[in-house]
């Protein structure tokens, strides 16, 4: 192997020392920015997360786990394509069971909502600030080097101006990395509610029907118009968020079936742990999921029977008395304009009555549709599921000036 050799001539010791200092200063000035950037990467956040984990073994386990989840979420948000984020999404992070950590953290936050809110607010405003017991490792900044007088360089010869070649590498739009199915399920649990519609039967107010809905902002829930039509009272229930009541704010479909089968409920006494953003696009073949309360749980889930009993007897149920939502995964099978002129999507997730009003989300947890119908054909046992596309639902929200969130980037389905 041949190498590029640099011949050195003898020079005075003073000149040699001056040359070494100048060379070192040049190298440090070129590396300082890269050094600082590396130290502000996901590795520092990962060290902070592990510091919280170690502190949790000593005391305040739930609180420290809660702080750890805030740091973990910051890594996933700010460094989604890093090796650390990849390991976090696969639950392979330094031997830590992140699923267990999140469960303990969520339980602590539910029991200490005011303190959790303060910690989260301080964390957000302070860019990850922690208390005295949970100090993050400090970043070591390179000390500035004193400037040395350098000998005047000989005047450079003027070079002909050469046009710089354009960068031919295409620059694509920013994309959100998809989550695991467990992550999507967690997001749906934190935003989806059971809707119980109550009507008077034989002089007594009772639960007459059920549906599903999801928070689109801090106080409003989206569902189908046909779910809440004719309701005298509405009960909202979630195993993660608790019990609340709802009032119909806007309805998009008339009694004759014209318009979008969508409605907005004002929620009281219940707050979301997460609101679902609407997707920037949807295409055939996208992987999707649904979270909701299919009617089959009436007959299969003992918790649901207990919940109905408490409500009919006017006993306020607890969160433990609410059944968990059910989930199904599939794909977008078609996008089309239906007979009424609305843009619909056909999807391949499993649904039954009670799923009406459920969100259809992509692999990033972005809402691509509002489920409203499932059609079965008895002659061949086939089943087709339909949802209004996110574009159609957003028109309804904008027309009624209902605040909602849009995803900041496209979902990278991988």
For 195-235, the pLDDT digits (tens) are: 999 999 888 899 999 999 999 999 999 999 999 999 999 99
261 plus 346 within the same structural domain: yes
Residues forming beta bridges with residue 414, ordered by sequence position: none
> What is the CATH number for 408?
2.40.10.120
Q: Give the number of other CB atoms < 10 A from CB of residue 62.
A: 18
Q: Is residue 352 part of a domain?
A: yes
Same domain, 373 and 265: yes
pLDDT at site 146: 54
CB 198 within 8 A of CB 208: yes
Write down the H helix ranges in 126-161.
none
In a domain, 396, yes or no: yes
* pLDDT for 132: 41
DSSP string of 362-397, one letter each residue: ETTS-EEEEEEEEEEETTTTEEEEEEEEHHHHHHHH
Is the separation of the CB atoms in 161 and 309 below 8 Å?
no
Angstrom distance (rounded) from CA 259 to CA 370: 14
- Is the domain of 107 the same as that of 256? no
pTM assigned to the model: 0.60
Number of domains in the chain: 2
State whether 270 and 389 are in the same domain. yes
Residues 325 and 396 in one domain: yes
**Neighbouring C-alpha atoms within 13 Å toward the C-beta of 33:** 3
The answer to whether position 165 is within a domain reads no
Q: Does 190 reside within a domain?
A: yes
Residues 188 and 100 in one domain: no
Name the residue range of residue 55's domain.
Answer: 42-134
181 to each of 291, 362, 367, 369, how far by Cα in Å? 12, 10, 15, 18
4 part of a folded domain: no
Confidence of residue 142 (pLDDT cuts 50, 70, 90): low
Domain end position, chosen among 77, 107, 134: 134
Question: Tokens 């305040």 map to which residue?
Answer: 60
Where does a domain end: 71, 99, 134? 134
297 within some domain: yes
Q: How far apart are CA 290 and CA 87, in angstroms?
A: 25
d(CA 89, CA 178): 10
* H or E element at residue 206: strand 204-215
- Chain segment 144-166, per-residue pLDDT in tens: 555 555 555 555 555 554 444 44
Is 60 exceeded by the pLDDT of residue 62?
yes
Q: Decide if 203 contacts 287 (C-beta within 8 A).
A: no
């Amino acid at each position: 192997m041949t190498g590029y050799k640099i011949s050195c001539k003898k020079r005075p010791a003073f000149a040699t020392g001056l040359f070494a200092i100048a060379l070192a200063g040049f190298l440090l000035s070129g590396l300082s920015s890269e050094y600082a950037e590396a130290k502000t990467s996901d590795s520092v956040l990962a060290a902070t997360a592990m510091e919280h984990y170690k502190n949790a073994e000593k005391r305040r386990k739930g609180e420290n786990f809660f702080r750890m989840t805030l740091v973990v979420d910051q890594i996933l948000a700010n460094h989604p394509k890093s090796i650390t984020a990849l390991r976090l999404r696969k639950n392979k992070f330094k031997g830590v069971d992140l699923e267990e950590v999140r469960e303990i953290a969520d339980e602590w936050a539910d029991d200490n909502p005011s303190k959790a809110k303060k910690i989260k607010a301080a964390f957000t405003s302070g860019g990850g600030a922690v208390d005295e017991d949970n100090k993050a490792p400090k970043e070591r900044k390179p000390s500035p080097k004193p400037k040395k007088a350098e000998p005047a360089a000989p005047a450079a010869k003027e070079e002909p101006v050469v046009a710089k070649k354009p960068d031919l590498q295409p620059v694509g739009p920013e994309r959100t990395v998809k989550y695991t199915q467990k992550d999507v399920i967690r997001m749906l649990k934190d935003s989806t509610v059971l809707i119980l519609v109550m009507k008077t039967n034989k002089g007594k107010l009772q639960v007459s029907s059920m549906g599903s809905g999801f928070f689109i902002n801090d106080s409003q829930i989206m569902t189908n118009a046909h779910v809440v039509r004719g309701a005298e009272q509405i009960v909202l229930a979630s195993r993660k968020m608790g019990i609340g009541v709802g009032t119909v704010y806007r309805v998009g479909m008339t009694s004759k079936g014209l318009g979008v089968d969508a409605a907005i409920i004002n929620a009281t006494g219940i707050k979301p742990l997460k609101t679902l953003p609407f997707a920037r696009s949807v295409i055939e073949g996208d992987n999707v999921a649904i979270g909701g309360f299919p009617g089959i749980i009436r007959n299969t889930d003992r918790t649901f029977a207990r919940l109905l009993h408490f409500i009919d007897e006017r006993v306020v149920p607890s969160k433990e008395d609410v059944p968990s939502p059910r989930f199904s995964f599939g794909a977008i099978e078609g996008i089309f304009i239906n007979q009424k002129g609305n843009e619909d999507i056909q999807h391949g997730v499993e649904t039954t009555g009670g799923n009406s009003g459920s969100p259809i989300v992509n692999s990033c947890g972005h809402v691509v549709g509002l489920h409203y119908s499932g059609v079965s054909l008895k002659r061949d046992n086939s089943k087709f599921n339909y949802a209004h596309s996110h574009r159609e639902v957003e028109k309804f929200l904008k027309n009624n000036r209902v605040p909602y969130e849009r995803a900041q980037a496209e979902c990278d389905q991988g």
